[in-house]
Amino acid sequence: MSEIRYDFSWDRHRHIQRYARTLPATQELFFVQEPYTPAPVNWAEGMPEGGAPGSKTGTGGSYYPPGRIAEMRERLKGVDRKAYLRDILSHLGCEKLNCREIVTTVCHFINQALYYNPTQLPREEGVGDLIMDAVELLELHDGRCGQGVAVTVAMLAEAGIEARTVPVFHHVTCEAFYDNAWRLADALMFGGEQPVRDGEVPSVAALQAEPYFADAFPLRCFVYDPEELLSADGYRLLGYVFGEWGSLAYYSWYMGAPVDYPPTLPIPLVAQRLEGQRVRLRWSPSIKYERGAVEYRVRIFADRARTQAIAETATRDAHYDWSVPEMNRHYFYDVAAMDDHRKLNPKTWYPAVPGNFVLVPKEQYGWYGVL
């Protein structure tokens, strides 16, 4: 048997940088997946002879190149799958944890080990079937909902905890059985912070009975850096890909609620110098699909970790004018775009986008994030 084990030195950030922008200037920018997203009329225009990767097969460029799958399988020849997974559990210290702690630890690990890749999906060459082998997926480090469930079920089985696949609307999630009940274990969506009510993780059925409850908990796997959605020559990727935050519905939709989309992210722009020691913090206006007003929550901090709050406000403008207490001091802030979904759940989670600046005297030379 091969002695290959999971590489705990794997760098998630570097993986995303490497594989998120693998589309060269010679590759089609539109991701086709028929019948939902048929190719545009100028599909192969400007492409190399023979058209874009995938041509008219309906696959577009949204699946792995075959060579990447072949290389992984060559590397895994003879690997004992169960030993591979047990080694991960041992490294995570699961033998010292109770069942709930094991599920939390495993879900956190999977959330960090698999990237919810918006542009490339692991599948079998030529047959269209998704790769569902847990060890292969952990070696590839990419996967979507059903693949995350496959890894969760396999790892928890090795830990002696029963888990099962639970199909819901437009999504596949997972439940684990512990503390005498089936409980949500959606690793890709929530990681180690599954929705909790009165100290207990609910079942899928309980969330379906109250679908808006889960919207209060972070869905960080859908908050993509805009850089990840660009080609090598700087164009936006279109078609059947997951777009910016705001292009996918709230989690409540998967639990059976009417579809509702959050606002897009408010991306910080260069701060503007006003009179005296005042600055205008600016960000890109957020938009919400179809309906709903947007309000921005702005928080300013003295520290990079954003734990020492100095000021907080809410505004409907895409800027906030602030009197800086001290020149030549580094300040940190974040902006979150909030919408009318708060009527359905006042605790709705909105991702905050960070920014920073230093206000200096006008004659001081250099770049400080303020103009």
| 51/320: higher pLDDT | 320
**Inter-residue contact 218 to 351 (CB < 8 Å):** yes
Q: What is the pLDDT of residue 56?
A: 39
Q: What is the pLDDT of residue 329?
A: 97
Could you report the per-residue pLDDT of 240-290, keeping only the tens digit for each?
Answer: 888 889 999 999 999 999 999 999 999 999 999 999 999 999 999 999 998
Write down which residue in 202, 221, 240 finishes a domain: 221
Residue 349: CATH number of its domain: 2.60.40.10
Are 149 and 281 members of one domain? no
- Residue 45 belongs to some domain of the structure: yes
Q: Which residues contact 259 (CB under 8 A, 6 or more apart)?
A: 249, 253
For residue 30, the tally of other CB atoms under 10 A from its CB is 18
Max Cα distance, the chain (Å): 71
For residue 338, the tally of other CB atoms under 10 A from its CB is 18
Q: Is 95 exposed, middle or buried (0-12, 13-18, 19+ CB in 10 A)?
A: exposed
Domain containing 148 equals 12-221
Average pLDDT of the chain, as a whole number: 91
CA 313 – CA 297 distance, rounded (Å)? 6
Give 211's DSSP letter: G
Tokens of 4: 């290959």
Residue 24: CATH number of its domain: 3.10.620
How sure is the predictor about 58, in pLDDT bands with cuts at 50, 70 and 90?
A: very low
Write down which residue in 221, 245, 260 finishes a domain: 221
The number of residues in the chain equals 371
**Choice among 117-121, 174-178, 279-283, 355-359 with the minimum mean pLDDT:** 117-121
CA 35 – CA 137 distance, rounded (Å)? 27
Average pLDDT over residues 15-34: 79
Could you report the per-residue pLDDT of 140-151, keeping only the tens digit for each?
Answer: 999 999 999 999
- Residue 241 belongs to some domain of the structure: no
For residue 302, the tally of other CB atoms under 10 A from its CB is 16
